[in-house]
């Protein structure tokens, strides 16, 4: 049995840390309330109530109360959260104070900078004002000095003139005394009016001499003879009178002569205007456009984008349409040659690339398939080959050779036939497996092979080339007598693509013509250099079944040139050289 003090609580470790017990003079009552657990959404009630009552003489029963760890943990977390909140609040206050001090410092710096700027501005204004004042004073002093110098100069001239007049009069009086002997000298006293008159005459002479040039000032009177010797006579100077050309030919038109730029033709503006009207405005191959130039350029650009050529065409946004003009021909001044500059057009760079590509494709055609002569230097070799072929035909061969000048070759070629010839050329190379070529944009040369882009070589697809030529033919514009025109018929004049397009069309016509002759094609030879054509027909003596040549000789050329288009081109009278065994 336990003793009296066995049930007494001496403050051991069984005390509830939550503070749920009370002590009344040796009696301790413990009470643990209800604890709600919300971790899983369920509520658990744990109630332990222990009341120990008794007196000093009674035995008390001691019960050990359980300690809840969750409650202690919550209490610790609550204290930690409180401390953290206090810390955060203190830090926020510090940060706000720091931001406020920073803003005040920045505001003070801005205020000081504004004050300094204002002070500098005021100082600068004062300096400018002082400088202007100094300059004004200097100008005043300068003007005063100039006026003073002018006044002093005038006074000096007056004094000199008075002294000269006095000396002149004294010398005159002395001469009279010497010549007439002793005579009474009459003293002449000049008044102030005469002195002022002499000064006014001097001023008048000075005013007149200011307008004289150096040559006029050097002119003097006749030289006096010295001791009876005759004066020396010199030939007069020959200074031809120069009249500026602008004054002599004012209102006339100056133009260089065709194929002779050293000579200049001066003509009446009416004649030049009529020539422009006949060559451009009244021509059936041109259409007058009433739209503005900007609208036309925008339309061309939109058509390029619609055709998918926005990457192929190097469009120049600063490009404009040039103005056409005419120049007289060197053989006949009453006939004119149209000049159509295109170096300012937006697509001029792409046109140069396409022209080089077309020339390359044309050069890759078989030599016997066309009459084209790239240069005059190749004429001798071409004639030698023709002579060799003629000698192989035998001694009984009869030759007929004639030359023709194709008139208006560029202006009468339809666009449909031009595109047909271009497609024929592209199809010829496509059948050999070529679909593109590479062109050197900064020099000569083109190739079907692959090259590096570092050498300024550009790839040109056949499809893009055909589309570009077609759109370029549809949109060919120029200004003539301030009128916007569009060329609807013929090859565009002045463009880089004009010569190769004409040569391609002639090559296509020659191939078509020779194929139509069948087995007689090897008896026809020809050479073409631009608009000059040489045609040679070989036949057996007495046989006239190949081509019938009439007296004028135009039938032969009409058969060749007639294949260019459905409408035959106008031709001049043939120039027939004498027939011979060799050309």
318-361 pLDDT, tens digit per residue, is 888 888 888 888 888 888 888 888 888 888 888 888 999 998 99
Regarding whether 388 and 292 lie in a shared domain, the answer is yes
Residue 478 near residue 285, CB atoms below 8 Å: no
End-of-domain residue from the set 193, 217, 241: 217
* Regions of the chain with pLDDT less than 70: 1-67, 176-200, 205, 208-247, 395-397, 407-411, 451-455, 540-583
> What pLDDT, on a 0 to 100 scale, did the predictor assign at position 390?
81
> What pLDDT, on a 0 to 100 scale, did the predictor assign at position 548?
42
Q: Give the HSE-up count for residue 318: Cα atoms under 13 Å, Cβ half-sphere.
A: 2
Radius of gyration of the chain (CA): 58
Number of domains in the chain: 3
Joined tokens for residue 143: 């003007």
> What pLDDT, on a 0 to 100 scale, did the predictor assign at position 243?
55
Burial class (CB in 10 A: 0-12, 13-18, 19+), 399: middle
Q: What is the rounded CA–CA span in Å between residue 400 and residue 535? A: 8
Joined tokens for residue 107: 């505001």
Regarding whether 205 and 130 lie in a shared domain, the answer is yes
Is 567 contained in some domain? no
Give the CA-trace dihedral at 137, 141, 147, 149, to 10 degrees: -170
Name the residue range of residue 30's domain. Answer: 1-67
End-of-domain residue from the set 217, 239, 256: 217
Regarding whether 296 and 173 lie in a shared domain, the answer is no
Regarding whether 342 and 289 lie in a shared domain, the answer is yes
Strands 336-339 and 436-440: unpaired
Regarding whether 489 and 342 lie in a shared domain, the answer is yes
What does the pLDDT look like over 287-316, one tens digit per residue?
Answer: 898 888 899 999 999 999 998 888 888 888
Exposure letters 346-355 (e unless 16+ CB within 10 A, then b): bbebbbbbbb
Q: What is the 3-state secondary structure (H, E, C) of 434-485?
A: CCEEEEECCCCCEECCCCCHHHCEEEEEHHHHHHHHHHHHHCCEEEECCEEE
End-of-domain residue from the set 196, 217, 238: 217
> What pLDDT, on a 0 to 100 scale, did the predictor assign at position 556?
40
pTM greater than 0.75 (yes/no): no
Regarding whether 101 and 42 lie in a shared domain, the answer is no
Regarding whether 276 and 198 lie in a shared domain, the answer is no
Is 257 contained in some domain? no
């Amino acid at each position: 049995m336990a003793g009296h003090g066995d049930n007494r609580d001496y403050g051991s470790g069984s005390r509830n840390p939550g503070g749920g017990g009370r002590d009344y003079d040796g009696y301790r009552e413990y009470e643990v309330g209800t604890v709600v657990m919300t971790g899983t959404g369920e509520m658990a009630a744990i109630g332990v109530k222990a009341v120990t009552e008794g007196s000093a003489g009674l035995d008390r029963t001691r019960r050990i109360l359980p300690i809840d760890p969750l409650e202690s943990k919550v209490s610790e977390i609550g204290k930690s959260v409180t401390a953290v909140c206090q810390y955060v609040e203190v830090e926020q206050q510090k940060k706000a104070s720091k931001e406020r001090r920073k803003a005040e410092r920045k505001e003070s710096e801005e205020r000081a900078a504004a004050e300094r700027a204002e002070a500098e501005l005021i100082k600068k204004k004062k300096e400018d004002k002082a400088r202007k004042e100094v300059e004004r004073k200097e100008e005043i002093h300068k003007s005063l000095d100039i006026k003073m110098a002018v006044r002093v100069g005038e006074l000096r001239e007056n004094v000199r003139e008075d002294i000269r007049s006095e000396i002149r009069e004294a010398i005159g009086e002395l001469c009279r005394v010497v010549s007439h002997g002793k005579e009474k000298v009459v003293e002449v006293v000049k008044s102030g009016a005469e002195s002022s008159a002499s000064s006014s005459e001097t001023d008048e002479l000075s005013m007149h001499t200011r307008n004289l040039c150096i040559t006029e000032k050097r002119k003097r009177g006749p030289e006096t003879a010295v001791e009876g010797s005759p004066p020396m006579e010199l030939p007069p100077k020959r200074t031809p009178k120069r009249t500026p050309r602008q004054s002599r030919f004012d209102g006339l038109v100056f133009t260089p002569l065709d194929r002779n730029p050293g000579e200049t033709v001066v003509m009446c503006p009416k004649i030049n205007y009529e020539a422009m009207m006949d060559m451009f405005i009244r021509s059936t191959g041109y259409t007058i456009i009433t739209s503005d130039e900007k609208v036309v350029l925008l339309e061309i650009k939109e058509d390029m984008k619609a055709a998918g050529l926005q990457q192929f065409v190097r469009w120049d946004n600063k490009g404009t349409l040039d103005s056409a003009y005419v120049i007289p021909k060197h053989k006949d001044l009453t006939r004119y040659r149209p000049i159509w500059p295109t170096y300012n057009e937006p697509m001029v760079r792409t046109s140069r690339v396409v022209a080089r590509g077309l020339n390359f494709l044309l050069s890759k055609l078989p030599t016997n398939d066309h009459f084209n002569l790239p240069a005059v230097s190749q004429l001798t070799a071409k004639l030698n080959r023709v002579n060799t072929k003629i000698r192989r035909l035998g001694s009984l061969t009869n030759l007929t050779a004639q030359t023709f000048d194709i008139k208006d070759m560029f202006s009468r070629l339809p666009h449909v036939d031009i595109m047909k010839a271009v497609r024929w050329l592209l199809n010829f190379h496509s059948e050999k497996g070529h679909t593109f070529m590479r062109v050197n944009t900064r020099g000569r040369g083109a190739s079907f092979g692959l090259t590096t882009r570092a050498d300024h070589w550009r790839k040109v697809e056949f499809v893009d080339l055909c589309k570009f030529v077609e759109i370029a033919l549809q949109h060919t514009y120029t200004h003539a007598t301030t009128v916007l025109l569009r060329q609807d018929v013929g090859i565009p004049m002045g463009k880089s693509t004009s010569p190769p397009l004409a040569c391609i069309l002639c090559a296509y016509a020659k191939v078509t013509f020779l194929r139509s002759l069948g087995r007689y094609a090897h008896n026809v030879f020809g050479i073409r250099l631009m608009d000059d054509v040489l045609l040679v027909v070989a036949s057996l003596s007495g046989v006239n079944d190949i081509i019938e040549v009439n007296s004028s000789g135009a039938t032969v050329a009409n058969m060749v040139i007639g294949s260019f288009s459905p409408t035959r081109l106008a031709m001049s009278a043939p120039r027939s050289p004498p027939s011979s065994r060799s050309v």
